[in-house]
Structures are given as C-alpha cells and as structure tokens.
Structure 1
Amino acid sequence: TQREGWEHIMEPVMIKAILGDHYDTADKALYDKVRTRALDFIDKSTGIQTIVQMEGLVKMVEEFNFVPKEAILDKFGYKEIYNNGLMEMVDERMTKLNSGQLTVQDFTVKGAVDFLYALKDRGIKLYLASGTDKADVINEAESLGYADVFDGGIYGSVGDISKYSKKMVIENIIKENNLKGNELLVIGDGPVEIKECRKANGIAIGIASDEVRRYGLNQEKRSRLIKAGAQIIIPDFSQADTLIDLIFKK
C-alpha cells in the first residue's frame, strides 16, 4: 500500500489535462462533468497498466476538445506528469520507512506477507504482476522485504503494451507450469487479473481491502470485484488459515 491514494494523484492530473487553459475558469457544471468522467475512467481502469490509462486520457482530452491539438501530450508525456506526483508521495513514505517513523506493517494489508510465506512453505510457486513500472515494483518489494517470496518472478510495465500485460503473464504462467483449471490461483484487487483468471478457469480471489486502514472491507472494491467474477472476496488476510484451508479444500 505504498501507493495507496494513487487515484487522488491521477484525478487532478486528468482533470487539468482535459480542461487545459480552461481549468481555472471552468464553471462548476463543467468541472463536475469532467471530474465525473475522470473518476469513472479511473474506477473502471483500476489494475491496468498506467501507460494504458494514459492512452485513455489522451482520448478524453481529444474528445472534450478544450486543448488545441498541437498542445495535447502523448501518453508518455501525461504518464510523466502523473508519475512525478505519485513518486513524490511514495518517496516521502519511503523516507519515513527508512527513518523508522513507519514500519512494513504500515504499508501492507493485514496478514498479507505471512500469507505469502505460508503459500511458499506449501511449495506454491508465486508470481507478482503489477501495472506499475517494473523497476518500481521490484524496488518497493525489496524495500518492504518480501521480494524473495516471488520465486516465479516479479513483473511490471515496460512501457510497451505489446510486450507486457497481466493477461500475458497469466498465459505464460499457465504455459510454463502446464497448469489446468484450478491449479491456477490469482489474488488481486483489480478487475483485470480477476477476469483473466476466470477466462483460464482458475481460482480468483478478490482483495476488497481498505488500504487506508490496511484491514477491513472496501465496499466499492467489493462490487467491482464481484462484477469481474471473483469467486471469493476477502477484506484482508486476518483469516489466512481459514483461507488456506479453503484453497486446499481441507
């Protein structure tokens, strides 16, 4: 949860990009219209690569037509603006972690790390796939001390959607390990990985977590994950033993 609150960084980036020079003069009706559109897009695109979200932003900027064509940035330009704001927040949190003001528990969902090691102890091969840039995913996993648990590898965006997606990762996992049906287990809080898991007939567990408290249920996530097809919804890993028994059908 080092990136908890990323939506609040992306929201103003999108609104300002769409309105352009009209940002300071837009009336409430216009501002609310753009904000609603941005929030709806953010909600529906949760879990996909940031670069793909920025492709969507470019299309929205063109659609609203407030920004002259020659002034519209490409997906990489908008991503840089968003990423600068996001990393400022992450760096501040990392500083507090390194200084001892905060601990790993302040950045992880309750019971999550212990749950990962419990799966590893049972011989389960673990993979981590994120829509965040790969270098940042690896850095954060290492800084929080759980990178070693992912013996299958850590995957993230490489800036080229033709070379990386969660769908590709899942397909490769199935192929490399010759998996069938419920031999594949996907755990995530985004609709993308849940949908891809269900397409592959795997077991899809949705994490509808309250990332601010790091435990408890987030109702919006729950609804989103149910629509995506999650077979099991949990708020956190406080009942990890029960979940493991359920997974292994004890």
Structure 2
Amino acid sequence: MPHELEEPDFRPIVESPAPTRFLPGTAIEIVRPAANRGFRYALFDFDGTLSLIRAGWQNVMIPMMVEILHDTDPRESPPTLEALVREFVTELTGKQTIYQMIRLAEEVQKRGGRPLEPQRYKAEYIRRLMQRIGERREGLRSGRYRPDDWLVPGSREVLDLLRQRGVELYLASGTDQPDVREEAALLGLDAYFGERIFGAVEDYRRFSKAKVIQDALREHGVSGAFLLGFGDGYVEIVNFKEVGGTAVAVASDEVFRGGRVDAWKRDRLIRAGADLVIPDYRQYRELIDYLWGA
C-alpha cells in the first residue's frame, strides 16, 4: 500500500507540549504561532469539525461491539468488554470506520470465534447508526430542523470568510462518500465545496485524507505551506503537519455545544501536532484575522 494511503494509529508527535497562550479576549488557544499567512487552500474534516448529524455515534458502535464480543465469549463481563472496546474505538477515532471493524474482527478471533468480514460488521453498525440519526436527517430534509441546528457553531461564517479571501475549500471525511455528500447537502455545505467533497470508498485502501491533501497540492503545484487544515481527529492533524501545513484543532464539545473545549480532544490533538485549538467557530473573525496576520 502506498505510504500516502496509510492511516496511522494514534501516536503522540509532541511528547511534552510547550506552554500555550490564548489570543486576548478569546477561546482561541495558540500552541505555536502560524508559520505562514498566505493560505490558498483549506481542508476540513466533516463529522465533529463541521457536522453534528452523527454526534453520539460512539453510543452506537461501542454497545454493538460489546454485544458481539460477549456472544463470542460469555465468560467476559460486559463492563470489562466495554472498557476494552471504548479504549480501542477511542484510539482509532479519526480513521475510516472500517479500521475499527478490522479491530473488532481481530478481537473476535482472539476469543476463539469466527469473525465476519469487517465490511459486514461495518454494514451492521451503519444500519444501527441510521436508526439513531435517521430522524435528524429526515428533519433536515423536511425543514423541521434548520441546518444550523446540526452544524458546529460558526461553521458557515468561517467558510464564508475563507471564501471571501479566495481560499479554495476541500472536505475529506472517513464517512462513506455518498453519505458525506448527502449530509453536506442537507447542511447546505455543498455550495462551499462543490465537487471537492471526498469520503471513504468500498476498497478502503484507495482512500485516505493524506491522499486528498497530496492530490490537491500536486494538482496546484504548491507546497503544504499554503494549506490550512481544520479537524477534530488526530489523522488529519498529523496529515496537515506532515506536508508543512497549519493545523487548527476543532476540539468541539458535541453534546453541550456551549463554546467550551472537549479536554480529551484538546490534549490528543495538541499531542498530534496542532498549531491552534478552538472549541468551535463562534470567534471566526478573530481566528481568520489572526491567521492572516491582522
């Protein structure tokens, strides 16, 4: 598999982060000063970074996996299995969903079971997830919900400002491509990204966020210094930094949405190499002014 298609397991890039500071009067945490101010391209992750349609997905995946492992070996208690599953689901967050299902298959095999193909586990997870979030999607289609009800606060405003500055916008997600394109349209985000919306494909080896980044830089013949990246998963933060881009960690609290940082996300994303940390985009003007050196 080419290196650019690999999605690495979480590993701390920064073992001992230096003291950080906040942009005065804001919740924008500066881990290290932005090295470049002439951004021409911006890439966003989707779930948790822009969209909240799938908020709470862990409460679908983890119980499903516990159920499968307990059926494989009833001697292990559900609480013990839940602790195990929560740990590896958490460690694999940010990668394509199939990687979590590959790990599930490995755990079934360790217990003497005959695992299904990871794609079959993924299909069952998606079926259960759609039962949970179907009402959200239908509510957006019918107009019962406004798109802003399921967007990270300030998403549309920050996209508007970036577009006004002539920045070309890309979206890359570990969610399956048909679903991410549909949900982006439901949220009214397709107008910002056009055809530059990328998601997981059936052969997971043919897609990665790193590939989207490399393809974009190659197409335009520019270095990663011109790239501004936004994400809430370690995968994209690592990918942004590998090419020399500036990484903004969106450590959003997807449950309370009150403008506070999710402490676990913050720590993980700083150790992955993030340059800035924000709870959401409410202070979008201050963020963009800072990034452009104003």
TM-score of the superposition, structure 1-length normalised?
A: 0.91
- Counterpart among 229, 247, 250 of residue 204 in structure 1: 247
SS at match of 2:204: coil
Gaps of 5+ in 1: none
Gaps of 5+ in 2: 1-51
What is the distance in 1 between the residues matched to 2:264 and 2:195? 31
Instruction: Kindly indicate whether residue 98 of structure 2 is the aligned counterpart of residue 98 of structure 1.
Output: no
What is the distance in 2 between the residues matched to 1:102 and 1:216? 24
Other-structure match for 2:290 = 246
Segments ≥4 residues shifted beyond 3 Å: 98-101
Instruction: Kindly indicate whether residue 277 of structure 2 is the aligned counterpart of residue 233 of structure 1.
Output: yes
- Judge conservation of contact 1:125–1:151 (CA < 8 Å) in 2: no
What is the distance in 1 between the residues matched to 2:289 and 2:201? 36
- Counterpart among 59, 63, 69 of residue 12 in structure 1: 63
Instruction: Kindly indicate whether residue 199 of structure 2 is the aligned counterpart of residue 148 of structure 1.
Output: no
Judge which range, 185-194 or 38-47, deviates more. Answer: 38-47
* 1:170-216 Cα deviation digits (max 9, x unpaired): 11122112222421111000000000111111100100001123332
What is the distance in 1 between the residues matched to 2:147 and 2:224? 34
What is the distance in 1 between the residues matched to 2:111 and 2:211? 33
Amino acid paired to 1:124: V
**Larger helix fraction of residues:** 1
Matched residues, percent identical? 37
- Counterpart among 107, 112, 117 of residue 160 in structure 2: 117
More relative contact order, 1 or 2 (CA 8 Å, 6+ apart): 2
* 1:31-79 Cα deviation digits (max 9, x unpaired): 22221111111111111111122112111221233x3x2xx21111100
Amino acid paired to 1:106: D
- Counterpart among 87, 103, 107 of residue 60 in structure 1: 107
Judge which range, 95-104 or 82-91, deviates more. Answer: 95-104
Judge which range, 104-113 or 86-95, deviates more. Answer: 86-95
Amino acid paired to 1:222: R
Across the two proteins, how many residue pairs are aligned to each other? 242
* 1:77-102 Cα deviation digits (max 9, x unpaired): 10011000111122111222334432
What is the distance in 1 between the residues matched to 2:224 and 2:137? 39
CA RMSD of aligned residues (A): 1.6
TM-score of the superposition, structure 2-length normalised?
A: 0.78
- Judge conservation of contact 2:154–2:284 (CA < 8 Å) in 1: yes
What is the distance in 2 between the residues matched to 1:188 and 1:2? 16
Other-structure match for 2:89 = 42
- Counterpart among 50, 59, 75 of residue 118 in structure 2: 75
- Judge conservation of contact 1:126–1:152 (CA < 8 Å) in 2: no
